């Protein structure tokens, strides 16, 4: 993201530890193929899949071909096209518990570097279970695959979330990693930061001059951040999810990163360290929405079974590998304050959950109302009519799906009276640009290869986020804690509405229907 970075990646080896898993199949290799198709990946970048299963280079290539065809944004044009890419794919069988296997891998990587005529410039991607991160880095370190911190070789290690389970475990992982790696060698992925529309938050804020002066306590009434999913727990994830829950799985990382990007001060330079410093300040300034009572600023829910669009869906406790009496939260909403000069007194409401009505991620900034109601409109729903004044201006960043930025503002309704009507101005990515948006992993992998850590989480950011949610986690992990139940296909438990109602606020209904409602459409106006 920072300026001055090389345009494309060359002279590196990518080693995927855990190449038999879903992440490699669905995300990593399709993303690498897309980078190559777009000209961002030079031909001297070998990709080595490492896993325990027995495979040859040929069978690995064939498997990856099928994955790219099934999941990729780009597909091979023909056999020749595929062969050009496939010749850089290799597979090495390694039992991650056997030192000898690491030594064989070392030799094999050195041979490849010789054949490709490239220096020891390696990216190790940990596509493995979180419990293996530390032992594998340790084994790579002990066998010389990750040389000492003072070596001249360029070694980068990419780690997927979860980074720990709470503040203490995250600090432990950081401490241990720092024995073997420098902070700048560690790339902690939060794939939300790779999303084009998330990156655009900074560009929108600091690449325009008319919006930024409004983004503060003088003009913003409150902010709503929603990361909603309509699906339940995907097959095989029950055991992980039940240990994690909505707060650890999404709010602590993806949602707080969105909050940081919206809340942070402009960096003095568009460089990784400067941007991460500013995000860190936001995380450190975050405060509970109520200083005394946790239940007044956090709501946790769990979905029950029920019907969604005519089909019965299982409740959380009926999901595969979830205990029948689980109290794990599948929904969490929080009122967060940012105690700094810019945002003091402005609530940031953040919510995330599974089995909500739709998959949608958005940030909505609701501005204060004009100081005086000079105009009104008579609005009727059935026989009931109301005199309605100005509605608040709302600026919405739609991260997904249908990536867009919309602004709701008031206009004069055509006619012989001064009647006020909200309307919406939309910028939709797919209408404005004729190229598809890159997948988050494309951008993130390229950034690791070119050594740009702007879009990765630094250890102090991570710790600050854990520190903030830690007291809440303790409460939710307490076996006596009962989440509030909610029906699938709804926007979460009633407590979530109450959280806002206490302040006289109301959750928006995100998505297209919402925008019609916000713009006053669907209501008759006299
Ligand atoms: C992951 C979570 O980090 O993010 C998943 O572990 C969640 O539970 C996913 O479904 C959401 O990501 P996206 O890109 O689909 O919004």
Interval between CA 272 and ligand 1 midpoint (Å): 24
Structure tokens at 413: 């309704």
Over residues 121-130, the mean pLDDT reads: 95
| Nearest CA, atom 6, ligand 1 | 249
Q: What is the pLDDT of residue 519?
A: 46
**pLDDT tens, residue by residue, 505-521:** 999 998 654 444 444 44
CB within 8 Å of 63: residues ≥ 6 apart: 25, 55
pTM, full prediction: 0.93
Across residues 196-217, what is the average pLDDT?
A: 96
Ligand 1 centroid from CA 225, angstroms = 15
Apex 514 CA angle, 509 and 517, nearest 5: 120
Model confidence over 174-185: pLDDT tens digits? 999 999 999 999
Active site residues: 254
Instruction: Kindly state if the Cβ of 403 falls inside 6 Å of ligand 1.
Output: no
- Is the pLDDT confidence value at 523 over 80? no
Nearest CA to ligand 1 atom 9: 250
Distance 487 CA to ligand 1 centre (A): 21
Q: Supply the pLDDT for residue 4.
A: 53
Compute the distance from residue 353 Cα to the ligand 1 centre, in Å: 10
Please give the pLDDT value at position 515: 47
Report whether residue 362 contacts ligand 1, using a CB cutoff of 6 Å: no
pLDDT tens track for 45-54: 999 999 999 9
- How many Cβ atoms from other residues are within 10 Å of residue 333's Cβ? 28
- Of ligand 1's atoms, which has the minimum distance to the CA of residue 192? 14
Mean pLDDT calculated for residue range 328-348: 98
Is the bond preceding 401 in cis, omega lying within 30 degrees of 0? yes
Q: Are the C-beta atoms of residues 483 and 472 closer than 8 Å to each other?
A: no
- Answer for the pair 355, 489: CB distance below 8 angstroms, yes or no: yes
> What pLDDT, on the 0 to 100 scale, is given for residue 518?
47
Give backbone dihedrals phi and psi of 188, rounded to 5 degrees, phi first.
-90, 115
For residue 32, report the distance from its CA to the centre of ligand 1, in Å: 20
Can you tell me the distance from the alpha carbon of 215 to that of 263, in angstroms, rounded to the nearest whole number?
A: 8
Whether residue 524 has pLDDT greater than 50? no
Q: What residue owns the CA closest to ligand 1's atom 8?
A: 249
* Full 3-state SS string of 407-418: EEEEEECCCCCC
- 3-state class of 523 per DSSP? coil
- The dihedral built from the CA positions of residue 283, 289, 295 and 300, taken in this order, carries a sign that is negative
Q: Which atom of ligand 1 is nearest to the CA of 359?
A: 16
State yes or no: pLDDT of 2 exceeds 70: no
Using a 6 Å cutoff on CB, does residue 229 contact ligand 1?
yes
Q: What is the mean pLDDT of the chain?
A: 92
The CA distance from 17 to 96, in Å, is: 9
Residues 304-337: tens digit of each pLDDT: 999 999 999 999 999 999 999 999 999 999 999 9
Out of 249, 316, 399, 437, mutate this one to test ligand 1's pocket (max ligand atoms within 8 Å of CB): namely: 249
What is the secondary structure of 432-495 as a DSSP string? H-SSPPPPHHHHHHHHHHTT--TTEE-HHHHHHHHHHHHHHHHHHHSTT--PEEE-TTSSS-HH
């Amino acid at each position: 993201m920072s300026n001055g970075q090389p345009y494309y990646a060359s002279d590196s080896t990518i080693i995927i530890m855990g190449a038999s898993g879903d992440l490699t199949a669905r995300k990593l290799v399709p993303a690498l193929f897309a980078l190559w198709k777009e000209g961002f990946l030079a031909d001297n970048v070998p990709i080595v899949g490492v896993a325990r299963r027995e495979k040859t280079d040929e069978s690995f290539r064939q498997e990856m071909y099928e994955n790219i065809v099934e999941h990729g944004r780009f597909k091979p044009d023909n056999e020749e096209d595929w062969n050009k890419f496939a010749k850089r794919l290799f597979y090495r069988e390694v039992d991650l518990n056997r030192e000898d296997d690491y030594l064989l891998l070392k030799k094999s990587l050195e041979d490849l570097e010789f054949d490709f005529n490239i220096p020891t410039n390696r990216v190790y991607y940990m596509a493995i279970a979180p419990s293996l991160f530390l032992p594998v880095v340790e084994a790579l370190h002990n066998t010389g695959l990750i040389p000492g911190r003072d070596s001249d070789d360029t070694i980068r290690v990419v780690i997927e979330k979860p980074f720990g389970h709470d503040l203490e475990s995250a600090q432990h992982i950081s401490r241990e990693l720092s024995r073997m790696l420098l902070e700048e060698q560690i790339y902690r992925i939060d794939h939300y930061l790779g999303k084009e529309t998330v990156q655009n938050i900074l560009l929108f804020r600091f690449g325009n001059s008319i919006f930024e002066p409004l983004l503060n306590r003088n003009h913003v009434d409150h902010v709503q951040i929603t990361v909603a999913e309509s699906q339940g727990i995907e097959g095989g994830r029950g055991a992980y999810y039940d240990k994690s829950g909505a707060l650890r799985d999404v709010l602590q990382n993806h949602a707080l990163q969105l909050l940081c990007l919206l809340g942070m001060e402009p960096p003095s330079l568009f460089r990784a360290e400067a941007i991460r410093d500013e995000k860190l300040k936001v995380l450190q300034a975050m405060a509970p929405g109520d200083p005394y009572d946790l239940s007044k600023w956090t709501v946790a829910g769990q979905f029950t079974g029920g019907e969604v669009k005519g089909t019965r869906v299982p409740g959380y406790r009926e999901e595969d590998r979830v205990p029948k009496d689980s109290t794990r939260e599948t929904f969490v909403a929080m009122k967060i304050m940012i105690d700094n000069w810019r945002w003091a007194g402005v609530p940031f409401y953040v919510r995330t959950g599974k089995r909500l009505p739709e998959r949608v991620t958005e940030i909505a900034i609701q501005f204060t109302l004009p100081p005086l109601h000079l105009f009104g409109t008579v609005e009727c729903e059935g026989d009931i009519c109301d005199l309605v004044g100005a509605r608040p201006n709302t600026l919405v960043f739609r991260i997904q799906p249908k990536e867009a930025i919309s602004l709701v503002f008031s206009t004069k309704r055509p006619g012989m009276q001064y009647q006020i009507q909200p309307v919406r101005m939309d910028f939709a990515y797919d209408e404005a640009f004729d190229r598809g948006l890159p997948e988050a992993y494309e951008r993130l992998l390229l950034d690791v290869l070119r050594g740009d850590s702007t879009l990765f989480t630094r250890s102090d950011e991570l710790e600050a986020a854990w520190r903030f949610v830690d007291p809440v986690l303790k409460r939710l992990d307490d076996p006596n804690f009962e989440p509030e139940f909610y029906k699938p296909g709804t926007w979460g438990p009633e407590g979530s509405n109450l959280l806002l109602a206490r302040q006289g606020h109301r959750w928006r209904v995100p998505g297209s229907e919402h925008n019609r409602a916000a713009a006053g459409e669907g209501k008759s106006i006299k």
